[in-house]
Amino acid sequence: MDKVEVMHITDVSHISFSDLQKVKSLRSIHFKKCKDMFSAELDESVVIHSVHNLTMQELCITGELFSKVLRCFPALSQLTVGNCESLELLPMEDGGLSGLKMLQSFTGYGWGNLFSRWPMGEVGGGAHAIKPFPTSLRELEIYKDTSMQSMGLLSNLTSLSSLSLVSCRELTMDGFNPLITVNLKKFTVNNMYQKQGNMCIAGDLLSEIARSKLMHAGSFQLKEYRVDSISAVLTVPICSHLAATLHTLCFSYDQRATTFTEEQEQALQLLTSLKYLEFQRCYNLQSLPRGLRGLSSLKKLVIWRCNKMQCLPPKEGLLASLEKLRVWCCGRELNVQARKLKESDPWFYVGAAG
């Protein structure tokens, strides 16, 4: 055991943390479906400094026990928590993740209650207000947590390089700090306001960034952007910020867009660094932008489950730089056109399905 670096522990009712402490080479632990492992009192004298990566899945664990577990792993740089439905972060100094001063990456999904005990009215309460995450965090991914109701929970994370907020349907702009976007290289925002007619939060978020006096044209470092609103992104002010660095743009789950306005067409032309463009599950979108040919750097175009899209651009309307076109699970007409395009140009890869 003195050479073990990665350990997966599944469906085990008890294991000695004191024994784990003896495995000096241990770097990564993955707990899954360990129903009663954390129900007993943990020996707080056990500290495992060697473990940098911890994953906890499908565990029945309270916020109090979770805090005790984390105190056993003070050197964590990566933490993943998934489908621990009873887990609620404690809103105090040693109750959240703020005590993990070396934490670089956090991924959480499928809880729904993680922030339910957090006082939402105080999340933006000044520089000294307690926040759930340490300022050291560089990567944050949160999926399907309805208890996350304020962007103020993230207001201290000004060193983030990657941020994903997906299906946090109660999330609002309260307490939003534009500075959290300054160092972002990768940004995914796919949230619909559950209580406001499925309005997208991305529009308000980008408007706040554009209006901020802390930002200026060319200040964005964003390389990859995945978002659920075409209209929020394709404006001249926003695309001016994105133009220099953005190489990947994915529009997903936009239920409102049907066609592209003249202003949106003009804004798209500003994205001169774009190499990858995707339209995913935009169920009411009927056509692609007319100005695709103006994107001289575009290498790959993906259309996935856009059921109302009627046609592809004519052959002469496709970019000379385009190397791959993928059409997946769209309407029959679009799939037929994609297959014909593949037959006429064997070098041009087309994947057509559906």
Residue 278 pLDDT > 90: yes
CA angle 178, 181, 187 (to 5 degrees): 135
Structure tokens at 277: 């463009």
* Domain 1-184 matches domain 218-354 at the CATH topology level: yes
- If you average pLDDT over each of 3-7, 89-93, 314-318, which comes out highest? 3-7
Average pLDDT of every residue of the chain: 85
Predicted local confidence at residue 241, as pLDDT: 82
Structure tokens at 341: 């395009």
* Helix, strand, coil percentages in the chain from 3-state DSSP, rounded to 5: 20, 20, 60
Residue 128 has pLDDT above 90, yes or no: no
- pLDDT of 6 reads 96
In angstroms, the first-to-last Cα distance of the chain is 50
User: Residue 46: pLDDT above 70?
Assistant: yes
Does the pLDDT of residue 210 top 60, yes or no? yes
Q: Domain ranges in the chain?
A: 1-184, 218-354
Of residues 353 and 79, more confidence is placed in: 79
Between 132-136, 156-160, 204-208, the lowest mean confidence (pLDDT) is in 204-208
Q: How confident is the model at residue 217 (pLDDT cuts 50, 70, 90)?
A: low
**Arithmetic mean of pLDDT, 312-328:** 77
pLDDT (0 to 100) of residue 353: 56
C-alpha–C-alpha distance, residues 55 and 80, integer Å: 5
CATH of 218-354, one of 3.50.30, 3.90.220, 1.20.140, 3.80.10: 3.80.10
**In the predicted model, is pLDDT for residue 204 greater than 50?**
yes
Q: What is the pLDDT of residue 271?
A: 94
Q: What percent of the chain has pLDDT over 90?
A: 42
Q: What is the pLDDT of residue 32?
A: 94
| 54-58, 109-113, 347-351: least confidently modelled range | 347-351
Task: Write out pLDDT tens, residues 74-127.
Answer: 999 999 999 988 888 887 665 568 889 999 999 999 877 888 888 765 444 455
Distance from the Cα of residue 215 to its chain's centroid: 22
- DSSP, res 93: T
Per CATH, domain 1-184 is 2.60.120.260: no
DSSP letter at 312 equals P
Regarding predicted confidence, which is higher, 106 or 181?
A: 106
Residue 11: both structure tokens together: 């469906």
Q: Which two tokens stand for residue 22?
A: 């003896």
pLDDT digits (tens, 9 = 90+) for 223-265: 999 999 999 999 998 888 888 899 999 999 998 899 999 999 9
More confident call, 193 vs 48? 48
Q: Quick check: 197 pLDDT over 70?
A: no
Question: Which has the minimum average pLDDT: 62-66, 151-155, 318-322, 335-339?
Answer: 318-322
Q: 168: closest CA among 145, 197, 189, 188?
A: 145
Count of H-run helices and E-run strands, the chain: 7, 16
Residue 335 has pLDDT above 60, yes or no: yes
In this structure, of 25-29, 40-44, 61-65, 116-120, the range with the lowest mean pLDDT score is 40-44
